[in-house]
Amino acid sequence: MEKLYVIKIGGNIIDDEQKLESFLKDFAALKGYKILVHGGGKLATKLAAQLGVEQQMIDGRRITDAETLKIVTMVYAGYINKNIVAQLQANHCNAIGLSGADGNSILAHKRQHPSIDYGFVGDVDAVNISLVHALLQQQVAIVAAPITHDQKGQLLNTNADTIAQEMARSMSSLYQVELIYSFEKSGVLLDANDDATVISKINPGYYSELKAKELIFAGMIPKLDNAFAALQKGVHKVIIGKAEQLTQLVAGEAGTAIQME
């Protein structure tokens, strides 16, 4: 099986022009099949404020009313996605930007919740494996925006971490997938306040041990649970680390690799 990298970059990189530029240079230089999933950053919040569209958050999640959906569609699938693609082209990396509606690449449904109305938020149902495969085989990198659709004409705001995970999981039927989550820290740390204490590799046995000894800080547990869930669904390796170190993350020289064996 050929290798495929599914790489998620968070808002902190999107919001920093220089960091983003440097990250995209590294991404462009990466050999092989690759998918970049980007979050939103602060631009949508800023635009909403400028337009006087009030933002409602519940448990850290944005409630997506019709006006907010319009804003995130413009910002995520328009401004951010197209600027990333244009910069990749400048770095001689042919790339194509997709929302989930494009090529029916990510099908979702509007979130149903017994008590909270999240608005136009989508939970992923399926990735169009054959379309994604066909594009990758054209030597085109895919840049996925966190917007999906329900195949009934409705666009939906969708969590970028989830999109990365669903992409990785689904493409595992055709590729050996490495899922890379970039965030602010250098990886999974033994001491949350010391970036030098990165754990280079975690397998299920070691994970149990770390949890039993309470050597892992609480905020990291859901991320690691998600990583192991991805591995159980066929993803070959999950890597967590700093976006600024993409090249080293991929080479296994930085970050934390989460693997079954």
Q: Which residues of this protein are in contact with a copy of itself, per CB under 8 A?
A: 50-51, 70, 73-79, 81-83, 85-87, 89-90, 94-99, 101-104, 131, 134, 138, 140, 147, 149, 151-155
Task: Extract the annotated binding site for substrate.
Answer: 40-41, 62, 157
Smaller CB separation from a copy of itself, 90 or 221: 90
Burial class (CB in 10 A: 0-12, 13-18, 19+), 120: buried
β pairing state of 56-58 and 33-38: unpaired
Residue 174 beta carbon to a copy of itself: minimum distance, rounded to whole angstroms:
16
β pairing state of 147-149 and 33-38: unpaired
**Residue 37 DSSP one-character state:** E
Smaller CB separation from a copy of itself, 77 or 177: 77
Question: Tokens for 234?
Answer: 């066929």
Residue 145 beta carbon to a copy of itself: minimum distance, rounded to whole angstroms:
9
Residues 121, 156: contact at Cβ < 8 Å?
yes
Smaller CB separation from a copy of itself, 77 or 216: 77
**Residue 202 DSSP one-character state:** E
Residue 164 beta carbon to a copy of itself: minimum distance, rounded to whole angstroms:
20
Task: Extract the annotated binding site.
Answer: 40-41, 62, 157
Smaller CB separation from a copy of itself, 98 or 254: 98
β pairing state of 141-144 and 122-127: unpaired
